Amino acid sequence: MTDAGPPPDPVLGAHKPVYGLERAQNENPLLEGLEGERRAPPVALVVFGASGDLTARKLMPAIDRLACRRLLPAAFAVVGVARTEWSDDDFRSRMREAVKDAGPEWEAITSRFRYVAGDYAEPATFEQLQSVLDDLDRTVGTAGNRVYYLATVPTVFGPVTRALGDHGMVQPASRESFVRVVVEKPFGHDLASAHALDAELHEVLAEDQIYRIDHYLGKETVQNVLALRFANAIFEPVWNRRYVDNVQITVAESVGVGHRAGFYEQAGALRDIVQNHLLQVLAITAMEPPAVIDSQGIRDEKVKALRAVDVLGREEVLDEVVRAQYDGGWVEGEEVKGYREEDGVALGSPTETYVAMRVFVDNWRWAGVPFYLRTGKRLPKRMTEVAMEFRDVPHLPFARDLSRGLRRNALVLRIQPDEGITLRFGAKVPGQAFRVRTVSMDFSYGAAFVEEPPAAYERLLLDVMVGDPTLFIRTDEVAEAWRIVEPILDSWADDGVPLARYAAGTWGPTAADHLLEREGRHWRSP
Amino acid sequence: MAQPLTLPVTLSSWSGAQVRVAEVLAELEALRRPELMPATRTSVLTLVVVASSRDALGEAMAGVYELGGRHPARVLCLLPDRSGDGASSGLDAEVRLLGGEAEGQAVWFEDVELVVRGEAASHLDSLIEPFTLADLPVVVWFVGELPRVDDPLLRAADVVMVDARTFGDTECFDVLTELARRVAIVDLSWHRLQPWRELLAALFESPHTRPYLPGITSARVVGRTGPRHLLAGWIADRLDLPFSEVHVEPATHVSISLAGTLPATGQHGTFEVLRLSDERVVHTRTAVDGGPSSEMVVPLPPPTAGWGVAAALSHLDRDPVYERALRSAIAVAARH
């Protein structure tokens, strides 16, 4: 062996593929083999609304997890912006407390945190912010890269973005640097306000700078729907009207309105869950296979699926949508109040805490297949799933009394909390008689993979930093979702649809059961 | 970091002396009688542990059990006993059904321990096939000693797992290099070094530091015999550094220091990934003339065997970067 460096490799080739003389100027040969792991580039994360709940509860733990997974660069800093009069040290200390059981890395990261106290309407706030960011570029090496995270009430999305534009803070400093803005839902409260918000954002930002976050898409198991559908040959052939009888998508919460009454009274379940989470899950379930799993491929197909959803007419809303509100009851062993007795809720509040609806996706694949969607608060348990029930066999050759326990085949994608897949099918009961009954075959993600999946915010924060918008909502998706939801809101505004009642701890009102029973179907018991 | 894994418990077991494989398979099936069927069985591989001694097997199995609740596999432990005479040739078997919990769900997995005596110990490969789970990769973990390159067990393995650190020398790199030409190798030692590799690579992901990469002129790696050579080999290979500029020294913990100059201006930079104490954290430091300096503290994964095995089992492919690092490590070891 000489000092000339490693010899040519007899197995892997005489020439090294990516380094040595052939190495491109910009490549980092140390990264080779550390495949698949995307790491954040140097960046300053600016959080507007930094003194709020979302920052402490979701963003800070996500940042710590990214650090523990070695996905954050040394040149990383957070700048908090809010009206609360905190100093840098106050902010650091609050954020340190926000992550329970953090290791020594959290102390080190938060030591680079900065804070700007100020009103979003005051130019001085943004001047000070700019000065802090310049300082971070010099001292920490954040390289002019910015992610502005709007963890604020929606009413200030527009003003903050405009102010950033006015102060020249949304233009990347160089060709290599980036500026991105993360917007939290709700994206408007109807189609018109969504358009208005978009117009405000687009005044100063290009669409590819805007990252509309729906944390549901960051869930590993939502992404697994794509893997299940498009990485397997056995599911996609039956994923259509020829074999599927109906699709049931459930987003159930066991909690009540909690401390969100102020927001929830204005929003209700339709805006809070259906317009975004539920329709996003529907889009991923119903979409066509994209040519490539990338931001354009997936989002183009999701938009097409949403566009195919048949918009209900005002009269149809009466027949196809059930809205309801919870009364008192028992959930998970505890007695709970009815919605109208919750703090911050008006006595005669008409806000729906439950929605069930039937929609059709009018395209070649799904024509005639009902998609039953339901969401509610104070349901018996927290769970989200997509259940695909298949058609009956053309002819059942078993004696009726020996096959009573047989139900339709079903493929259930459990999104949370017990992530996995269940396949329901018929099997013979051991014995002399040919008795058949339904059995379930379970696959649990937790039991099959050792890696702890990233939490939704962890995944999405990293996506923003590396510039991957695949799991974020594009402006046309927002518009299509409002197109589906708005006629329902209009109909309800006329008081045309009764507000049904359901006891907390049940699966919703009987009217929701009738949606399916009139067609000889039943909701799954998740 | 992630939740600690809870150790699985033995749900039922069976053992027998001087048994035949068919008996063992029947008992294995019997352990899974329907009364306990609600538990999930999700296997992702067949893990064969070939141990040179009962002590070595015990250490390996501690990691496997810890792992079991999360990464269930059928585990076949082979303990060859070549000490006896021909008359005592045969198998003693112990079969256990273990139950763990993953994400709130009960998960079962089995382990089969075979003490193989006499002539049968020279035909361990014939014992693997009857126990493999269909369509799943077979990982053969050699504990305590490395196989010969013509070991018939290699034919039964999709992946061979080893822990180079346990051999305490650098001669094992020669054997591993030869083995790597025949089968995919998963080296626990290499996976343990991944945090250092990731962090060192990440130091050059900033526009202030990336230009230094072609100008790295020397590297110093400290650590135990084996890991420090492997890491130094990796750096020499990746950065095309002459071996004369790659220095290794013994130490309790692994640390790396690189130094270099910016080719265009001659500005100096140092880049370090240091483990300074028994505390399970690594410090990274960058200092470049006229540029921002940075420091970071990053926790290391838990030291338990289960986590190392789990990380390794997540990468069951051939790793060309590792294979190159091995070859370079031989050259580094030859100089030091």
Residues A419-434: tens digit of each pLDDT: 788 898 888 887 777 8
Check if A38-184 and A219-453+476-517 are the same fold: no
Q: What is the pLDDT of residues B192-243, one digit of tens each?
A: 999 999 999 999 988 889 999 999 999 999 999 999 999 999 999 999 999 9
* Residue ranges of E strands in B173-320: 184-187, 216-223, 246-250, 255-261, 268-274, 281-288, 294-299
Contact call for B240 and A20, based on CB within 8 A: yes
What six digits make up the tokens of A356?
Answer: 């069930």
Q: Please check whether residue A270 is in contact with residue A489, taking contact to mean a CB–CB distance below 8 angstroms.
A: yes
| Whole-angstrom distance, CA of residue A312 vs CA of residue A427 | 40
Helices (H) and strands (E) in chain A, counts: 16, 16
Q: Please check whether residue A270 is in contact with residue A488, taking contact to mean a CB–CB distance below 8 angstroms.
A: yes
What six digits make up the tokens of A315?
Answer: 């009269």
What six digits make up the tokens of A465?
Answer: 């930093």
Length of chain A: 526
Pairing of strands A321-331, A354-360: antiparallel
For the domain A38-184, what is the CATH code? 3.40.50.720
Whether the link from the prior residue into A8 is cis, omega within 30° of 0, is: no
B68 in helix, strand or coil? Answer: helix
**Minimal CA–CA distance to A416: which of A279, A224, A230?**
A224
- The predicted model scores a pTM of 0.82
Q: What is the pLDDT of residue A486?
A: 94
Q: What is the pLDDT of residue B5?
A: 45
A277 is known as an active-site residue: yes
**Minimal CA–CA distance to A354: which of A321, A331, A306, A309?**
A321
Cα–Cα separations (whole angstroms), residue A499 to A353, A454, A491, A518: 10, 39, 12, 20
Find the residue in B nearest to A27 (Cα): B210
pLDDT band at A124 (very low <50, low <70, confident <90, very high): very high
Question: Cβ contacts of residue A90 below 8 Å, gap of 6+?
Answer: A115
Q: Which candidate from B102, B181, B310 shows the least CB-CB separation from A444?
A: B102
Asked whether residue A12 carries a pLDDT value surpassing 70, the answer given is no
Q: What is the pLDDT of residue A434?
A: 81
Which CATH class, in words, describes the domain spanning A219-453+476-517?
alpha beta
Strand partners for A153: none
Q: Please check whether residue A141 is in contact with residue B291, taking contact to mean a CB–CB distance below 8 angstroms.
A: yes
| Whole-angstrom distance, CA of residue B310 vs CA of residue A455 | 20
Nearest 5°: the CA angle B189, B190, B192 is: 65
Q: Which candidate from A3, A19, A109 shows the least CB-CB separation from B238?
A: A19
Q: Which of A8-12, A264-268, A359-363, A456-460 has the highest mean pLDDT?
A: A359-363
A145 in helix, strand or coil? Answer: coil
Which residues in chain B have their CB less than 8 angstroms from residue A28's CB? 201, 204-205, 210, 213
Q: Which candidate from A73, A138, A450 shows the least CB-CB separation from B202?
A: A73
Give the alpha-carbon dihedral of A453, A64, B259, B329, to 10 degrees: -30
Cα–Cα separations (whole angstroms), residue A498 to A360, A508, B47: 22, 14, 60
Residue B238 distance to chain A (closest CA, Å)? 6
Contact call for A33 and B320, based on CB within 8 A: yes
Q: What is the pLDDT of residues B51-80, one digit of tens each?
A: 988 888 888 887 777 765 555 667 899 999
Cα–Cα separations (whole angstroms), residue A303 to A219, A358, A385, A497, B112: 20, 19, 21, 29, 52
**Minimal CA–CA distance to A74: which of A120, A170, A139, A13?**
A139
Q: What is the pLDDT of residue B71?
A: 58
Asked whether residue A156 carries a pLDDT value surpassing 80, the answer given is yes
Contact call for A107 and B297, based on CB within 8 A: yes
| Whole-angstrom distance, CA of residue A416 vs CA of residue A224 | 12
* Residue B192: CA count within 13 A, CB half-sphere: 24
| Whole-angstrom distance, CA of residue A254 vs CA of residue A281 | 20
Q: In this prediction, what percent of chain A has a pLDDT beyond 70?
A: 93
Asked whether residue A9 carries a pLDDT value surpassing 70, the answer given is no
Strand partners for A148: A46, A181
The interface predicted TM-score (ipTM) is 0.84
Contact call for A33 and B319, based on CB within 8 A: yes
pLDDT band at A1 (very low <50, low <70, confident <90, very high): very low
Which residues in chain A have their CB less than 8 angstroms from residue B276's CB? none
Q: What is the pLDDT of residue B208?
A: 86
What six digits make up the tokens of A215?
Answer: 């944390």
Report the Cα–Cα distance between both ends of chain A, in Å, rounded: 66
Helix (H) or strand (E) holding A319: helix A314-320
Q: What is the pLDDT of residue A134?
A: 96
Burial of A293 (0-12, 13-18, 19+ CB in 10 A): middle
Q: What is the pLDDT of residue B132?
A: 82
Listed by start position, the domains of chain A span: 38-184, 219-453+476-517
Asked whether residue A163 carries a pLDDT value surpassing 90, the answer given is yes
| Whole-angstrom distance, CA of residue A520 vs CA of residue B315 | 49
Average pLDDT, chain A: 89
Strand partners for B260: B216, B269
Contact call for A31 and B201, based on CB within 8 A: yes
| Range B167-184 average pLDDT | 92
* Residue whose entry in the numeric block shows the structure tokens 């321990």: B113
